Amino acid sequence: MPPKKQWGGRFRKEHDRLALLYSQSISFDWRLYSCDIAGSIAYAQMLGRCGIVTKTESNKIVKALREIRREIEAGKFRFDVELEDIHTNIEAALMKKVGADIGGKLHAGRSRNDQVALDMRMYVRDETLTIADLIRELQTSLVKLADKNSTVIMPGFTHLQHAQPVLFAHHMLAYYEMLRRDEMRYLDCYSAANVMPLGSAALAGTSFQIDRKMLAKELEFDDVSLNSMDAVSDRDYLIDFLSACSTLMMHISRLSEELMIWSSPEFGFVELDDSFATGSSIMPQKKNPDIAELARAKTARVYGNLMTLLGIMKGLPLAYNRDLQEDKPCVFDSVDIVKSTLQVFARMIATLGVCGDRMREECRCGFLNATDLADYLAKKGMPFRQAHELVGKIVNHCMAEACLLEDLSLETLQGFSPLFQKDVSQALRLDKVVNARRVSGGTARSNVLRAIRQAKKDLQL
| Tens of pLDDT, residues 93-144 | 999 999 999 999 999 999 999 999 999 999 999 999 999 999 999 999 999 9
Residue 156 · residue 166 · CB < 8 Å: yes
User: Which position among 23, 27, 264, 280 bears the catalytic label?
Assistant: 280
CATH of the domain at 248: 1.20.200.10
Residue 171 within a domain: yes
Mean pLDDT in residue range 34-53: 98
Please determine, for residue 7, whether its predicted confidence score (pLDDT) is greater than 80.
no
pLDDT at 6: 63
Catalytic residue at 159? yes
CB contact at 8 A, 199 and 141: no
Strand partners, 277: none
Cα–Cα distance, 47 to 107 (Å, whole number): 10
Backbone angles phi, psi at 167, to 5 degrees: -75, 135
Q: What are phi and psi of 227, to 5 degrees?
A: -140, 120
- Rounded to a whole number of angstroms, the CA Rg of the chain reads 31
Q: What integer pLDDT is reported at residue 15 of this predicted model?
A: 73
**Among 335, 308, 139, residue whose Cα is nearest residue 249:** 335
The percentage of the chain sitting over the pLDDT mark of 90, rounded to a whole number, equals 95
Residue 8 has pLDDT above 90, yes or no: no
Which pLDDT band holds residue 3 (cuts at 50, 70, 90)?
A: low
Count Cβ atoms below 10 Å from residue 174 Cβ, excluding itself.
16
Give the burial string for 256-278 (b: 16+ CB within 10 Å, else e). Answer: bebbbbbbeeebebbbbeeebbe
Mean per-residue pLDDT for 15-44? 94
Q: Report the CATH number that the domain containing residue 18 is assigned in CATH.
A: 1.10.275.10
Is 295 contained in some domain?
A: yes
Give the model confidence (pLDDT) of 415-433 as tens digits.
999 999 999 999 999 999 9
Q: Is the pLDDT of residue 10 over 80?
A: no
pLDDT higher than threshold 90 for residue 410? yes
Q: Tens digits of per-residue pLDDT, 205-237?
A: 999 999 999 999 999 999 999 999 999 999 999
Mean pLDDT of the chain: 96
Same-domain pairing of 352 and 375? no
Q: What is the pTM of this model?
A: 0.94
Check: CB of residue 212 under 8 Å from CB of residue 196. Answer: yes
Is it the case that residue 345 has pLDDT exceeding 80? yes
What's the rounded Cα separation, in Å, for the pair 191 and 284? Answer: 52
- Residue 143, in any domain of the structure: yes
* Residue % of the chain over a pLDDT of 70: 97
| Domain boundaries, position 307 | 125-156+167-203+222-358
Helix axes 168-193, 112-148, angle to 10 degrees: 160
Q: Is the pLDDT of residue 376 over 60?
A: yes
Residue 115 inside a domain? The answer is: no
Residues 148 and 73 in one domain: no
Same domain assignment for residues 152 and 276: yes
Q: How would residue 442 be classed by pLDDT, with cut points 50, 70 and 90?
A: very high
Domain boundary among 358, 377, 410: 358
Residue 118 lies in a domain: no
What is d(CA 424, CA 123) in angstroms, rounded to the nearest whole number? 61
* 235 and 293 both lie in a single domain: yes
What's the pLDDT at 1?
43
Instruction: Say if residue 2's pLDDT is above 60.
Output: no
- Main-chain phi, psi angles of 418, to 5 degrees: -70, -5
